Amino acid sequence: MASDGFRPLDEKSLLEYLKATPVLAEKLGNQFEDLQIKEVGDGNLNFVYIVVGRSGSFVIKQALPYIRCIGESWPMTKERAYFEARTLREHRRVCPDQTPEVYHFDRAMCVIGMRYIEPPHIILRKGLIAGKEYPLLAEHMSDFMAKTLFFSSLLYLTTTEHKHAVAEFCGNVELCRLTEQVVFSDPYKVSQYNHWTSPYLDSDAEAVRQDNILKLEVAELKSKFCERTQALIHGDLHTGSIMVTSKSTQVIDPEFSFYGPMGFDVGAFIGNLILAYFAQDGHANEGNDRKEYKLWILKTIEETWNLFHKKFTALWDEHKDGPGEAYLPEIYNNAELHLLAKQKYMEDLFHDSLGFGAAKMIRRIVGVAHVEDFESIAEPEKRANCERQALTFAKLLLKERRRFKSIGEVVSAIQQPKP
Amino acid sequence: MASDGFRPLDEKSLLEYLKATPVLAEKLGNQFEDLQIKEVGDGNLNFVYIVVGRSGSFVIKQALPYIRCIGESWPMTKERAYFEARTLREHRRVCPDQTPEVYHFDRAMCVIGMRYIEPPHIILRKGLIAGKEYPLLAEHMSDFMAKTLFFSSLLYLTTTEHKHAVAEFCGNVELCRLTEQVVFSDPYKVSQYNHWTSPYLDSDAEAVRQDNILKLEVAELKSKFCERTQALIHGDLHTGSIMVTSKSTQVIDPEFSFYGPMGFDVGAFIGNLILAYFAQDGHANEGNDRKEYKLWILKTIEETWNLFHKKFTALWDEHKDGPGEAYLPEIYNNAELHLLAKQKYMEDLFHDSLGFGAAKMIRRIVGVAHVEDFESIAEPEKRANCERQALTFAKLLLKERRRFKSIGEVVSAIQQPKP
Average pLDDT over every residue of A360-375:
97
- pLDDT of A70: 67
**CB neighbour burial string for A51-74, b if at least 16 within 10 angstroms, e if fewer:** bbbeeebbbbbbbbbbbbeeeeee
B85 vs A54, residue with greater confidence:
B85
Contact call for residues A188 and B331 (beta carbons, < 8 A): yes
Give Cβ neighbours of residue A240 (< 8 Å, ≥ 6 apart). A43, A123, A124, A125, A272, A371, A372
Q: Is the pLDDT of residue A35 over 60?
A: yes
d(CA A103, CA A375) in angstroms, rounded, equals 35
Average pLDDT over every residue of A205-209:
98
Query: Could you read off the pLDDT of B221-279 as tens digits, one per residue?
Result: 999 999 999 999 999 999 999 999 999 999 999 999 999 999 999 999 999 999 999 99
Give Cβ neighbours of residue B359 (< 8 Å, ≥ 6 apart). B183, B184, B218, B221, B267, B271, B394, B398
Query: Could you read off the pLDDT of A271-281 as tens digits, one per residue?
Result: 999 999 999 99
Contacts of B160 in chain A (CB under 8 A): 173-174, 177
A1 vs B317, residue with greater confidence:
B317
d(CA B306, CA A163) in angstroms, rounded, equals 34
Nearest to B327 among A177, A219, A340 (CB): A219
Q: How far is B315 from chain A (nearest CA, A)?
A: 19
Long-range pairs for A67-73 at CB < 8 Å and ≥24 separation?
Answer: A67/A178, A68/A41, A68/A43, A68/A44, A69/A43, A69/A44, A69/A45, A70/A44
Nearest to B328 among A162, A185, A334 (CB): A185
Average pLDDT over every residue of B291-313:
98
Contact call for residues A227 and B230 (beta carbons, < 8 A): yes
SS (H, E, C) chain A: CCCCCCCCCCHHHHHHHHHCCHHHHHHCCCCCCCCEEEECCCCCCEEEEEEECCCCEEEEEEECCEECCCEEEEECCCCHHHHHHHHHHHHHHHCHHHCCCEEEEECCCCEEEECCCCCCCEEHHHHHHHCCCCCCHHHHHHHHHHHHHHHCCCCCCCHHHHHHHHHHHHHHHHHHHHHHHHHHHHHHCCCCCCCCCCCCCHHHHHHHHHCHHHHHHHHHHHHHHHHECCEEECCCCCCCCEEECCCCEEECCCCCCEEECHHHHHHHHHHHHHHHHHHHHHHCECCECCHHHHHHHHHHHHHHHHHHHHHHHHHHHHCCCCCCCCCCHHHHCCHHHHHHHHHHHHHHHHHHHHHHHHHHHHHHHHCCCCCHHHHCCCCHHHHHHHHHHHHHHHHHHHHHHHHCCCHHHHHHHHHCCCC
A218: nearest CA partner in chain B: B327
- Structure confidence at residue A43 as a pLDDT band (50, 70, 90): low
d(CA B383, CA B247) in angstroms, rounded, equals 31
Query: Could you read off the pLDDT of B159-195 as tens digits, one per residue?
Result: 999 999 999 999 999 999 999 999 999 999 999 999 9
d(CA A280, CA A385) in angstroms, rounded, equals 11
Query: Could you read off the pLDDT of A103-153 as tens digits, one per residue?
Result: 999 999 999 999 999 999 999 999 999 999 999 999 999 999 999 999 999
% of chain A at pLDDT higher than 90: 92
d(CA B316, CA B336) in angstroms, rounded, equals 15
A161: nearest CA partner in chain B: B173
Contacts of B212 in chain A (CB under 8 A): 334, 336-337, 340
End-to-end CA distance of chain A: 58
Q: What is the dihedral of CA B394, B294, B410, B209, to 10 degrees?
A: 0
Nearest to B163 among A173, A188, A216 (CB): A173
Q: Is the pLDDT of residue A1 over 50?
A: no
Q: How far is B292 from chain A (nearest CA, A)?
A: 41
Contact call for residues B217 and B187 (beta carbons, < 8 A): no
- pLDDT of B178: 95
Quote the Cα angle for A253-A257-A263, to 5°: 105
Contact call for residues A196 and A386 (beta carbons, < 8 A): no
**Contact flag A228-B227 (C-beta cutoff 8 Å):** yes
**Contact flag B220-A176 (C-beta cutoff 8 Å):** no
d(CA B28, CA B244) in angstroms, rounded, equals 25
Q: How far is B243 from chain A (nearest CA, A)?
A: 32
- Structure confidence at residue B3 as a pLDDT band (50, 70, 90): low
Average pLDDT over every residue of B184-207:
97
pTM (2 d.p.): 0.97
- pLDDT of A5: 87
- pLDDT of B200: 98
Q: Is the pLDDT of residue A401 over 80?
A: yes
Query: CB atoms < 10 A from the CB of A322, how many?
Result: 13
Q: Is the pLDDT of residue B216 over 60?
A: yes
Contacts of A228 in chain B (CB under 8 A): 227-229
What mean pLDDT, rounded, does chain B reach?
96
Closest CA to A266 of A389, A408, A117, A147: A147
- Residue A254: asked if its preceding bond is cis (omega within 30°), the reply is no
Contacts of B190 in chain A (CB under 8 A): 330
Contact call for residues B56 and B145 (beta carbons, < 8 A): no
Q: Is the pLDDT of residue A415 over 80?
A: yes
Average pLDDT over every residue of B56-79:
83
- pLDDT of A66: 79
- Structure confidence at residue B21 as a pLDDT band (50, 70, 90): very high
A329: nearest CA partner in chain B: B189
**Residue type at position B153:** S
- Structure confidence at residue B1 as a pLDDT band (50, 70, 90): very low
Q: Taking phi first (over 0 means left), then psi (-120 to 50 degrees means alpha), and beta for anything else, what does residue B327 get?
A: beta
Nearest to B212 among A160, A212, A340 (CB): A340
B348: nearest CA partner in chain A: A220
- pLDDT of A292: 98
Query: Can you list the domains of chain B with their CATH numbers?
Result: 11-114 (3.30.200.20), 122-415 (3.90.1200.10)
Q: How far is A282 from chain B (nearest CA, A)?
A: 32
Contacts of A223 in chain B (CB under 8 A): 154, 326
Average pLDDT over every residue of B371-398:
98
**Contact flag B344-A189 (C-beta cutoff 8 Å):** no
Average pLDDT over every residue of A82-89:
98
**Residue type at position A331:** I
- pLDDT of B159: 98
Average pLDDT over every residue of B88-110:
97
Nearest to A337 among B216, B229, B332 (CB): B216
| A213 to A260, A396, B341: CA distances (angstroms) | 24, 11, 10
% of chain B at pLDDT higher than 90: 92
* Residue B117 burial by Cβ neighbours in a 10 Å radius (0-12, 13-18, 19+): middle
Q: Is the pLDDT of residue B67 over 90?
A: no
Q: How far is A227 from chain B (nearest CA, A)?
A: 5
The A-side interface with B (CB below 8 A) comprises: 154, 159-160, 162-164, 166-168, 170-171, 173-174, 176-177, 180, 185, 188-190, 212, 215-216, 219-220, 222-223, 226-230, 325-328, 330-332, 334, 336-337, 340-341, 344
Sign of CA dihedral A166, A171, A176, A177: positive
Query: CB atoms < 10 A from the CB of A302, how many?
Result: 17
What mean pLDDT, rounded, does chain A reach?
96
Contact call for residues B170 and A164 (beta carbons, < 8 A): yes
Closest CA to A155 of A231, A233, A91: A231
- pLDDT of A307: 99
**Contact flag A331-B188 (C-beta cutoff 8 Å):** yes
CB pairs under 8 A between A and B: 113
* Residue A225 burial by Cβ neighbours in a 10 Å radius (0-12, 13-18, 19+): buried
Min mean pLDDT across A388-397, B28-37, B200-209 is at B28-37
- Structure confidence at residue B68 as a pLDDT band (50, 70, 90): low
Average pLDDT over every residue of A192-199:
96
Q: What is the ipTM of this complex?
A: 0.96
Contact call for residues B340 and B316 (beta carbons, < 8 A): no
Compute and round to an integer the Cα radius of gyration of chain A.
Answer: 22
